Amino acid sequence: MAQSFSAPRKRAASPRFRIDLMPYLFILPAVVIYVIFNLGPVLASFFLSFFRWDLLSPTTEFIGFKHYNFILNDDRFWNALSHNFIFLGLAVVIPVSMGLFLAVFIYEIRKGRVFFRAALFLPAIFSGVVIAYVWKWIYHPFAGVLNPTLELVGLGAFTQSWLGNPKIALYSTFIAYTWASFGYSMVIFLAGLQDISTDIFDAARVDGANFRQKLFYITIPCLYDVFTFVITLRIFTAMGVFGVIYILTGGGPFYASDVIDIYVFRMIGNYEMGWATAAATVNTVVVVFLSTGFIKYREWRSWSS
């Protein structure tokens, strides 16, 4: 690569250890803020999980895996983590396939593409807080809209306490999460579809392929890398879900919808920094393992086939 901005030639004669500082100066401000307020705390969280410390006293004492021992023997930790996994299992199927189908429908029409894309993406622009309160009111026992609607259409038998029933609460929060996240999958799939050469679809039409054949033999294989990205995004959001559940149920009733980030937040609130950082570290390992493992698997599969 030609470097037009490297130092002028006459400087080459000056001492060899003279280095060009400009590239570093351009990066410096970003590095400083990023390291102090993002990367530093992440690394500190990992190291401090092996120490006894709290928010206010600076004294620390190395205690090895003691915090991990507590976390890994805490039923509530596994309870919370298992809920993240339920979320993840549902999230890679439901919002992703909704997004795929809606993107395909939008791609198939001629007029109104921009309108439908914009309207269907709308819930995704809101804060988790707004989403949670919208659904809190939808689920509200008597001022809500869900139970009266069910009665109106003759499904009165299904009315229930959507956030108060421990068997259902987690799934009720998942519906709110889905409402706010299928739009992301949709716009990404749509952009991926628009990158596919129209020649392929034209050829398929000439050969008389129907909608289902086009979907399974052209669209989905062509969107291989897009799928990888969309699902990886779901891994991060499902393992890091917080605001929606925090407001809808607070993790309750009786921890029935507890997730890792709420567990960690509760630990921090109780000044149990050791347990909080240990739990966060375990969660980080799980997330990094899942996401990089998934991406590597997808790369390997596309390479080997």
Q: Does 179 bind another protein (CB under 8 A)?
A: yes
Tokens at 13, concatenated: 């004669």
Work out how close the CB of 248 gets to another protein at its nearest, in angstroms, rounded to a whole number. 12
Among 7, 31, 72, 203, the residue binding another protein under the rule CB under 8 A is 31
Cβ of residue 11: shortest distance to another protein, in angstroms?
A: 15
Of 88, 94, 96, 120, the one binding another protein (CB under 8 A) is 120
Distance CA 49, CA 284 (A): 13
In the complex, what is the shortest distance from the CB of residue 23 to another protein, in angstroms, rounded to a whole number? 4
- Considering only residues 241 to 260 of the shown chain, the ones binding another protein according to CB under 8 A are 242-243, 246-247, 260
Size of the site for another protein (CB under 8 A): 99
Largest Cα–Cα separation, the chain? 88
| DSSP secondary structure letters along 190-252 | HHHHHHS-HHHHHHHHHTT--HHHHIIIIIHHHTHHHHHHHHHHHHHHHHT--HHHHHHTTT-
One residue of 13, 30, 153, 157 binding another protein per CB under 8 A:
30
Nearer to another protein, 173 or 277 (CB): 277
The total number of residues shown for the chain amounts to 305
Among 4, 14, 59, 304, binds another protein (CB under 8 A): 4
Q: Is 75 helix (H, G, I), strand (E, B) or coil?
A: helix
Q: Which residues pair with 5 in a beta bridge?
A: none
Element (H, E) at 51: strand 51-52
Q: Is 72 in the site for another protein (CB under 8 A)?
A: no
**Nearer of residues 57 and 304 to another protein, judged by Cβ:** 57
Q: Is 157 in the site for another protein (CB under 8 A)?
A: no
**Which residue stretch of 28-36, 62-70, 74-82, 248-256 sits at the interface with another protein (rule: CB under 8 A)?**
28-36
For the chain, the distance separating the N- and C-terminal CA atoms, rounded to the nearest angstrom, is 34
Selection from 274, 285, 296 nearest residue 53 by Cα: 274
Q: Which listed residue (137, 216, 217, 300) binds another protein by CB under 8 A?
A: 137
Contact by Cβ (8 Å): 117, 106: yes
